[in-house]
């Protein structure tokens, strides 16, 4: 592909968004956001206690189909709590994928545990079922009912697949494999609110799921996250830990264990309630953008990544796969210089200094994608939305 073709792409994206500068993703506030925020301010309950926290949790639970949703200050905090409640302890290992945002691995490290990296699938950009199975079959042994890494001697306590860019992984099959080895699955669904696998919402299959409501997500609370679970006792424990483990009492302050100041403030939840009211509209727009991109890039001879089989993806960040690293770098330079915000894949986790020594499987697919993937503008502000 020639550099002049990149200029055609710039013009096409500008035409979709009707702007000279197009951000990778930006929120839109076209519903009840100001109304609910003003109501929250008038109530004076702007911190971690207030009716909007309860409302937002209820709306997320209803939308995803999970029984319990517990709000947190961000997705990283949600994953940290989920890992702790899954029993992840110091020196344990947690299986995850190298193509992910660093928060996935950081949350594992917050528990004192170590990531183990298995490859990704080119069909989903998430965890490879084959690589996971190969690791568990060939590199672990069962002792006292738990899987242990034969190379490191550490217990494998959990597995954290991520639904990358909003595209669901083969989560049912991943859970089936992990169950054979008594490994709990925690879904990193931070990017996949509005995505469904076999008609079930992502984040509802595993022992826990987590969501993120960062400013660049399809629904935002400014900063925020959510723990999803169908286990009543675990939900109560999550709420307890995220509110500094304070024992409920009208006026006394007593904390019965080490807790975390992780609860979402009411003012953020007010924004979230207004945003989740529009989730299906947002998904519809993002899928329309993805459809237009696919038609355009097919004509250009460029691979546009589409939702996997049996899925409805939210297309959080639209993705193209270029021919090689050189072409990727040229594309990134030309688009960004011309006001079209694009970005490459994250640096693979096992290449970061703090995770270089972690055990990893062969990661040929992740290496291939890292050199070629580009995320292109994906905000719902492409069309008239009010």
The 10 Å Cβ neighbour count of residue 279 is 17
Q: How does pLDDT run across 174-188, given as a tens digit for each residue? A: 999 999 999 999 999
Q: How does pLDDT run across 113-124, given as a tens digit for each residue? A: 999 999 999 999
Least confident of 50-54, 80-84, 139-143, 382-386: 382-386
Mean pLDDT of the region 36-48 = 94
Distance CA 320, CA 279 (A): 24
Question: For 33-276, CATH number?
Answer: 3.40.640.10
383 vs 294 pLDDT, higher one: 294
Least confident of 51-55, 83-87, 104-108, 382-386: 382-386
Q: Give the pLDDT confidence score for residue 386 in this predicted structure.
A: 44
Distance CA 364, CA 245 (A): 43
What's the Cα-to-Cα distance from 302 to each of 30, 74, 257, 325, rounded to whole Å?
34, 35, 54, 14
| Ramachandran angles phi, psi of 92, nearest 5° | -70, 170
Residue among 169, 167, 143, 168 at smallest CA distance from 155: 143
Distance CA 167, CA 122 (A): 11
Domain boundaries, the chain: 3-29+279-379, 33-276
Distance CA 374, CA 344 (A): 5
* DSSP E strand boundaries for the chain: 68-72, 93-96, 114-117, 140-143, 146-149, 156-160, 184-188, 196-197, 200-201, 208-212, 225-229, 303-304, 311-312, 318-321, 343-344, 373-376
Residue 112 has pLDDT above 90, yes or no: yes
Cβ contact 25:216 at 8 Å: yes
For residue 42 the two structure tokens come to: 């008038």
Residue 215 has pLDDT above 50, yes or no: yes
| Ramachandran angles phi, psi of 210, nearest 5° | -135, 150
Residue 297 has pLDDT above 70, yes or no: yes
Distance CA 386, CA 383 (A): 9
H and E: helices and strands count for the chain: 12, 16
Q: Give the pLDDT confidence score for residue 68 in this predicted structure.
A: 98
Cβ contact 276:119 at 8 Å: no
Q: DSSP letters of 338-379?
A: TTB--EEPPPPGGGSGGGTTS-B---HHHHHHHHHEEEE---
Cβ contact 308:127 at 8 Å: no
> For 274, what's the count of Cα atoms within 13 Å in the CB-facing half-sphere?
22
What would be the CATH architecture of the domain defined by 3-29+279-379? Alpha-Beta Complex (3.90)
Q: In b/e form, how buried is each residue of 282-307, taking b as 16+ CB within 10 angstroms?
A: bbebbeebbeebbebbeeeebbbbeb
Mean pLDDT of the region 313-342 = 97
Residue 30 has pLDDT above 50, yes or no: yes
Q: What is the mean pLDDT of the chain?
A: 96
Mean pLDDT of the region 31-53 = 95
């Amino acid at each position: 592909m020639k550099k002049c073709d990149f200029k055609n792409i710039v013009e096409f994206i500008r035409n979709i968004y009707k702007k000279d500068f197009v951000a990778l993703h930006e929120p839109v506030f076209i519903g009840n956001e100001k109304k609910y925020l003003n109501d929250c301010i008038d109530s004076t309950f702007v911190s971690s206690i207030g009716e909007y926290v309860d409302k937002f949790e209820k709306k997320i639970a209803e939308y995803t189909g999970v029984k319990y949703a517990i709000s947190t200050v961000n997705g990283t905090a949600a994953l940290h709590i989920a890992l702790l409640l899954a029993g992840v302890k110091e020196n344990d290992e947690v299986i995850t994928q190298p193509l992910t945002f660093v928060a996935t691995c950081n949350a594992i490290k917050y528990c004192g545990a170590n990531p183990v990296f298995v490859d990704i699938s080119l069909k989903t950009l998430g965890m490879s079922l084959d690589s996971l199975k190969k690791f568990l079959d060939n590199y672990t042994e069962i002792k006292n009912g738990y899987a242990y890494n034969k190379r490191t001697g550490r217990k494998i306590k959990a597995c954290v697949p991520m639904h990358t860019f909003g595209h669901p992984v083969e989560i049912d099959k991943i859970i089936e494999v992990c169950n054979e080895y008594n490994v709990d699955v925690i879904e990193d669904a931070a990017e996949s609110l509005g995505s469904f696998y076999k008609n079930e919402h992502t984040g509802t299959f595993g022992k826990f799921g987590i969501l993120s409501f960062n400013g660049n997500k399809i629904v935002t609370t400014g900063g925020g996250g959510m723990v999803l679970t169908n286990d009543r006792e675990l939900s109560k424990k999550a709420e307890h830990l995220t509110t500094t483990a304070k024992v409920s009492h009208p006026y006394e302050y007593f904390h019965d264990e080490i807790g975390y100041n992780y609860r979402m403030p009411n003012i953020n939840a007010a924004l979230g309630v207004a945003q989740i009211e529009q989730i299906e509209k947002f998904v519809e727009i993002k899928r329309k953008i993805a459809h237009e991109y696919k038609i355009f890039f097919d004509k250009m001879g460029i691979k546009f990544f589409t939702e996997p089989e049996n899925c409805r993806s939210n297309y959080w960040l639209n993705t193209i796969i270029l021919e090689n690293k050189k072409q990727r770098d040229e594309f990134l330079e030309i688009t960004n210089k011309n006001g079209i915000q694009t970005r490459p894949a994250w640096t693979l986790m096992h290449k970061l200094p703090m995770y270089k020594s972690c055990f990893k499987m062969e990661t040929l697919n992740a290496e291939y994608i890292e050199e070629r993937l580009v995320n292109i503008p994906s905000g719902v502000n492409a069309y008239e939305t009010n």
